[in-house]
Structure 1
Amino acid sequence: MAETDNRLIVLAPGDTVAVARCAIAEGEELMIGGQQVALAQAVTMGHKVARKPMEAGDKVLKYGVSIGSATVPISVGEHVHLHNVKSDYTPTYALTEEGEVA
């Protein structure tokens, strides 16, 4: 059995995240780093899923480099995005449902 589900792409061996090749529904079972995990929330194509547990302040690694820091603890299989990571380099902006910058 594969160590990581083929619906995920691992871009560099030391990465703490994998990238979804396709949309993956909430509750789907995935193999991540040899561990069977059920996704707690849906992940859309191109979004990141944790490969390793991270604590607040840990660097999030993608392409073998830091893309930011975890702002809260992140579990294996958890969606990694603006709600739990901040850039260490540029301000993070997101649009609210009303189209306002948050």
Structure 2
Amino acid sequence: MRDDPKLLILSVADNVAIARNRLKAGDIVAVSGVRVNISDEIPLGHKLARCPIAAGEKIIKLGAPIGYATEAIALGAHVHTHNIASDYIPTYTLPEDSP
């Protein structure tokens, strides 16, 4: 058993999986071959950790870094804005002097 069909893995390099449907606290899913008891609700489309992620470690989704963990994240834990910081530019506009 690798990953539960309730999870979507976009790239084998990812350290997060996407919830294909809402996962409730107490649900048990297979994450990277390990049965994990979900401790907090994970909404549809949200991420959960495929492995333990250390504070400061990059969050990898679709094979690319999207941010870093602001705290340690346990296997199967909800990965969202409460425990990651984004690597994206904080605005949709660039300064006028940008190339």
Partner of 2:94: none
Task: Quote how far apart the aligned CAs of 1:77 are.
Answer: 0.3
Normalising by structure 2, report the TM-score.
0.88
Tell me how far apart the structure 2 counterparts of residues 90 and 71 of structure 1 sit (CA, whole Å): 17
Residue 30 of structure 2 aligns to a residue in which SS?
Answer: strand
- Which residue is equivalent to 2:8? 9
* Cα offset, 1:48, TM superposition: 0.2
Q: Which has the larger radius of gyration?
A: 2
Amino acid at match of 1:61: I
Match status 1:20 vs 2:25: no
Letter in 1 for 2:8: I
Paired position in structure 1 for 2:43: 44
TM-score normalised by length of structure 1: 0.85
Give runs of aligned pairs for residues 1-102 of structure 1, distance below 5 A: 2-91=1-90
**Deviation readout 1:41-61 (Å, 9 max, x if unpaired):** 011110000001111110000
Aligned-residue CA RMSD in angstroms? 1.2
Matched positions, count = 91
Structure 1 spans left out of the alignment, 5+ residues: 92-102
Residue-by-residue CA offset, 1:29-75 (whole Å, 9 max, x unaligned): 01100111000101111000000111111000000000100000001
CA–CA separation in structure 2 for the residues paired with 1:89 and 1:67: 7
% of aligned pairs identical?
A: 41
